[in-house]
Amino acid sequence: MNRLIHELAEMRDRKRVFRDRRHAGEVLAGMLVGRLSDDSRILAIPAGGVPVAAAVAKALRLPLDLAVVSKVTPTWNTEIGYGAVAFDGRVRVDERRRAALGIDRTEEALDVERARAKVRRRVEGLRGNGGPLVPPGGTAVLVDDGLASGITMETAVEAIRDSRAGRVIVAVPTGHQSAVRRISGIVDEIHCANVRSGRSFAVADAYLDWSDLDDAAVVESLER
């Protein structure tokens, strides 16, 4: 087993293991107790990662902020991601997945620009003129509600690395084992309570209560 990967054996390959995102965050917090320094910051990837990260930050009494990253998706299915755009403007596109979806370069450019606009809107609306996400040399804990392909998290990790974070840790309630393994190669640690294998994977399958979140729900989680 990769020593950088931390999971809960009792949750391996199980579905419906979390009541909701808040409960998932509480489970993650338990996995992280005693492993984080005082200079750590919990960075949520909106929208789904915010209630998870809020529960982690509350339990561990650490600062919470947003690392805004958005999937690049085709217009005909906003759940299928083939790339990502980060808060610093960087773009990653999985060329093999783009080709498999039948998306040409013109469509890709439109999809990327739509993701850029979403990131700009969220940075301005949810962070305002916020300062650095993590102090130079500090520890960043990136939190989302799950890892499917992993491309959104890969993009977030790259952006945080370039913002001069000292250590980068990923914490997610659920993830496909291939994505978990891939992310473990670019971070200092990854904590995933519910690792699942198999041909098909949906983040939502780990939760009893699951729904898409809009920006209003993100603001509500942050205020609470």
pLDDT tens digit string along 189-218? Answer: 999 999 999 988 999 999 999 988 887 877
Report the C-alpha gap between 46 and 188 in whole angstroms.
22
Chain centroid offset of residue 125 CA: 19
Q: How confident is the model at residue 220 (pLDDT cuts 50, 70, 90)?
A: confident
Residue 174 main-chain phi, psi, to 5 deg: -145, 150
On whether the CB atoms of residues 194 and 16 are closer than 8 A, the answer is no
| Nearest one of 15, 27, 28 to 201, comparing CA atoms | 15
**CB proximity list for 68: less than 8 A, separation 6 or greater:** 45, 46, 86, 87, 119, 122, 123, 126, 127
Q: Is the pLDDT of residue 2 over 80?
A: no
pTM surpassing 0.85?
yes
Q: What are 69's strand-pairing partners?
A: 86
| Nearest one of 46, 71, 36, 17 to 196, comparing CA atoms | 17
Q: How confident is the model at residue 118 (pLDDT cuts 50, 70, 90)?
A: very high
Domain with residues 5-223, CATH architecture: 3-Layer(aba) Sandwich (3.40)
On whether the CB atoms of residues 120 and 87 are closer than 8 A, the answer is no
* Residue pLDDT, tens place only, 139-173: 999 999 999 989 999 999 999 999 889 999 999 99
**CB proximity list for 31: less than 8 A, separation 6 or greater:** 6, 8, 171, 191, 193
Report the C-alpha gap between 66 and 68 in whole angstroms.
6
Sheet with 91-93, side-by-side order of all strands: 69-72, 83-86, 91-93
Inter-axis angle of helices 151-162 and 177-184, nearest 10: 20
Q: Region 84-91: what's the mean pLDDT? A: 95
